[in-house]
Amino acid sequence: MTSIAGDWGCVFDVIRQPVWAVDAAQLVRYANPAAAEVMGYGAPSELLGLDGRPFPAADLDGRGEGTLTRSDGSLLPVEWTRLPLPGARGDAVLYVFRPLGAEPFLGNRGPGETGPPYRRLAHRQAERERRHARILQHEVQERMVRTLLGLSMAREELTAAPAQAVALLSDAVRDTEEALATVREVTDALCPGALRAGGLPVALAALARRRPGRLTVSGTLSERLPQLVETHAYLFVAEAMERAVVGGAADHVHVTADHVHMDSEGPALVVTVADDGTEPATGADLAALTERVAALDGTLTARHIPGTGTTVTATVPLAPADTA
């Protein structure tokens, strides 16, 4: 099915800013994956046909603040920007959203509470990464989308201009598209949108979709964990996978994330990354992964079997409230 977003769909699909396009009846005719994630849907297609206007729906010109209704009925406060969609059929317009409000701390320890020094340092590091990711996703990226749309509209209006001017605009469009792709890569490296919206299981599933055939995910983990645990566990998987593919010459990596109950130590999160690579992890690789896990007071084990591959396992203790 051809979307009213037309050629713009390939641009919007890869950005982490929630975006959708509506027709003259204000019904959603295109939504990007980021919009599906933040709205709690499994796929962008589930948003199609819904009323795309934020509430309240008055004076929808330019930009403003309102709420969107998520799939579970909860309200999501957002700042929205309404833009014409260059080259779209009919009266299609584009909505670009920025979720508002501080993200709640999920767990039994808030950012300002006391705790072991390594936990406090790790929490501050994780919060800095999340803050930088939000700035990139909701401020830098939105401005770049607006710039890209404006440049494209100018190019359409200048069809009778000298070929050199049109070529310069085309170069600017291409450069902006490449910059948007870079912003997405940096944002995902710092703290992916799927992790912020849906937690570790959703983020790992999104990571697997970006590497079809190379990465598979399984496990019993379903509920949210504290931000600190989610962030470092995700980065542990991403770093271990990168080591396996680049340094270990692996063709396939399998990740499991499970809640377990240690007889003597209580509940724990166990994350295992197993690859079929021919090269074992180096001392530097293991030191980096060990430091990541130690930030959560966890332990790391690694085993390489020639002809089979390398398995690294992180075991992170969880307070009872963390698993509630």
Angle at 288 between CA 243 and CA 296, to 5 degrees: 120
Boundary residue ending a domain (76, 101, 126): 101
Domain that holds residue 30: 1-101
Tally of domains in the chain:
3
The reply to whether 198 falls in a domain is yes
Contacts of 232 by beta carbon, 8 Å cutoff, 6+ apart: 122, 126, 292, 293, 295, 296
**Taking 50 as the threshold, does the pLDDT of residue 2 lie above it?**
no
Q: Are residues 220 and 130 in the same domain?
A: no
The reply to whether 113 falls in a domain is no
Domain CATH for 284: 3.30.565.10
Cα(199)–Cα(240) distance, rounded to whole angstroms? 19
For residue 216, name the pLDDT band (cuts at 50, 70, 90): very high
Predicted model pTM:
0.55
**What pLDDT digit, counting tens, does each position of 263-316 carry?**
667 889 999 999 999 888 888 888 889 988 988 889 999 999 998 999 999 999
Question: What letter represents residue 232's amino acid?
Answer: H
For residue 260, name the pLDDT band (cuts at 50, 70, 90): confident
DSSP tag of 41: -
Q: Which of 119-123, 202-206, 227-231, 253-257 has the highest mean pLDDT?
A: 253-257
Q: Are residues 72 and 159 in the same domain?
A: no
The reply to whether 126 falls in a domain is yes
**What pLDDT digit, counting tens, does each position of 145-192 carry?**
777 777 777 777 676 667 777 777 777 777 777 777 777 767 666 667
> What SS3 class is residue 273?
strand
Domain CATH for 1: 3.30.450.20
Q: Are residues 175 and 200 in the same domain?
A: no
